[in-house]
Structure 1
Amino acid sequence: MMDGMVAASMRNKGANYKLNWGATLPRLRDKAEELKQMFNVSCLMFNQYDLAIALWKENVRECKILATMLMPADKMLPEVVDIWMEQTDSQEIAEQASFNLYQYLPYAADKAYTWMASDKELYQLCGFHILSRLFMNKQEPNERGINEFIDQALAALEGDSLMVKKAAMNAMIRFAELGLVYERLAKSALKRANLEFF
């Protein structure tokens, strides 16, 4: 799976891992599926949860990404999510964790709203990515959630972090796609902030 050119390109772009094999995401997804099938058909001394925990502990890009693909969302405790988030130190791992795992947690929305309000960029990034996915899956927020989301999205859009701005705008677009009322709320909020993007 090693791809030295990909690994070198990532290093040149500032991705610093103890070890980076440069494996592509499709190949990692295939490996994760292969491992899941193995767990489904055999009785091993360890389970998928334990393997995900062990993989996460390694400061190796591919191990961390595989951990996010293998961790059963319904078994991951909030305390473990908090530990993983504290140990996340790159945009790639934050995004992979959000897309592969965090959006599927039974308490995903709670984590997203908490993380959006954080002063840490990677937390905010994950929060907006999770809400984007939830909105894409037609999960509508309650009134408090709507107000909190709009406030945090506007703060992010007026902030300095380009990656957080992009994630917040994507979440705002997905929010607007929930229906006409949501679209009007999003456009009105953006207009009040002198931000008209759609």
Structure 2
Amino acid sequence: MDINTTIKEIKQSFRLMMDGAVAKSMRDKGLDYKLNWGATLPRLREKADEIGKNYDLAIALWKENVRECKILATMIMPADRMLSEVVDIWMEQTPTQEIAEQAAFNLYQYLPYAPAKAYTWMASEKELYQLCGFHILSRLFMNGQEPNERGINEFIDQALAALQGNSIPVKKAALSAVQRFAELGLVYERIAKSAIKRANLDFL
């Protein structure tokens, strides 16, 4: 079956998952997709499991300006086959906070070069890039990946900048990453606490 036919069938399956209340609540929050069926994430995950990992299909789905297609693309893309340049293109084309978070959780945290991307994005001027960077690091810390000394300093600097910034989503992502960092062990907890204290942000 060719990819266009497959995509057509996938899109038809979204109709069955349609949830008007979810779609409306997203529109009310300003999440404006060209097409949004309001399919819930568990339903999309089931669909992804049914399809399995598929590089070409993921690339084709991502090109569709449809919320569900983009999320599904992040779920079926094999992380070990995704080139760094493709990740950069996807990141540039990421339309909303939801898609950025889904990409970080479903895909970017598993990339072989995930830490490098996370550190680059965390230092970006763009809000969605920062958000993605902190979410990836949160996941890596949760999985017990410890940064080296340079990584620690860079992470703490960027996290403090984010926590003192104006973007609520980025603040939340940075705070979550700092908490995960502190959970890596006593030394990390002390580093996090003293940094937070220095910045007069005492909440750890």
TM-score (norm 1): 0.94
Count of aligned residue pairs for this structure pair: 188
The corresponding residue for 1:144 is: 150
Q: Deviations over 1:92-139 (max 9, x none)?
A: 000000000000000000000000000000000000000000000000
The corresponding residue for 1:186 is: 192
Cα RMSD (Å):
0.6
Alignment partners' CA distance in 1, 2:21 and 2:69:
19
The corresponding residue for 2:26 is: 10
Is residue 168 of structure 2 the alignment partner of residue 162 of structure 1? yes
- 1:65 maps to which of 55, 60, 71: 71
The corresponding residue for 2:14 is: none
Alignment partners' CA distance in 1, 2:19 and 2:168:
29
Q: Equivalent residues in 2 for 1:3-82 (5 A)?
A: 3-36=19-52, 48-82=54-88
Q: Please state whether the residue corresponding to 1:16 is helix, strand or coil.
A: coil
Runs of 4 or more consecutive aligned structure 1 residues displaced over 3 Å after TM superposition: none
Alignment partners' CA distance in 2, 1:22 and 1:144:
42
**Share of identical aligned residues, percent?**
82
TM-score (norm 2): 0.91
Q: Deviations over 1:36-76 (max 9, x none)?
A: 1xx7xxxxxxxx10000000000000000000000000000
Alignment partners' CA distance in 2, 1:14 and 1:103:
27
Q: For structure 2, which runs of at least 5 residues remain unmatched after alignment?
A: 1-16
Alignment partners' CA distance in 2, 1:8 and 1:195:
36
The corresponding residue for 1:131 is: 137
Could you tell me which amino acid in structure 1 is paired with residue 27 of structure 2? Answer: R
Could you tell me which amino acid in structure 2 is paired with residue 11 of structure 1? Answer: R
Could you tell me which amino acid in structure 1 is paired with residue 146 of structure 2? Answer: E
Q: Please state whether the residue corresponding to 1:178 is helix, strand or coil.
A: coil
Superposed displacement of residue 8, structure 1: 1.2
Alignment partners' CA distance in 1, 2:137 and 2:192:
14
The corresponding residue for 1:171 is: 177
